Amino acid sequence: MKNWLKFTAPFLMALIIPTVASAETSSTPSYEIKDVTMDIKVNDKGDMHVTEFFNYNFGQARGILRTINPNKSDGIQNFKAWEVIPENKELDVETIGTNEGSTQYKIYDQSENVSKQFMMELFVGNSPNP
C-alpha cells in the first residue's frame, strides 16, 4: 500500500494543484472562492472517481471555467457539474479547449450578488500506479 501511495500521490497532486476554477465574467472579475473540498476514490485498476465542491461568492458572472490536467492518465471522462446551493440543478457544460494536456470546461450559470456551491464530478481512467 505504501508503494502504491508513493507513486499515486504525485499524480493526485498534479491533478489537483494545477486545476483552476475561475469565474467567467463580462468585465472585471467579481468573485471569491471561499473553499474547495475534493473526494477522490481510487480503485485497484488506478481509475479515479473525483467529486469536488467549490463555494463561491459572486458579484457578477456568467458561469465558471474549470481547467483540469489529467497528467499521465487515460484522460477525463463523464465531467458533469451541478449548482447545489442555492438551487439544486444540473448545469450545462461545454468543453472549450485542450492545451498542453489540460482540458478546460465552461460551466454556465448566471450569477449576481450571490453565494453558490457547485459540485463537479469526473472520472479519470488509469491513473499511474505501480
pLDDT classification of 1: cutoffs 50, 70, 90: very low
Per-residue pLDDT tens digits for 51-78: 999 999 999 888 899 998 887 788 888 9
Nearest-5° Cα angle at 103, 97 to 105: 75
Cβ-contact 48, 78 below 8 angstroms: no
Phi/psi at 6 (5° precision)? -60, -40
pTM: 0.75
Nearest-5° Cα angle at 48, 69 to 119: 75
CATH number for the domain running over 2-124:
2.60.40
- What's the CA gap between 127 and 73, in Å, rounded? 5
Q: Higher confidence at residue 31 or residue 26?
A: 31
Structural domain boundaries in the chain = 2-124
Per-residue pLDDT tens digits for 94-111: 998 877 778 899 999 999
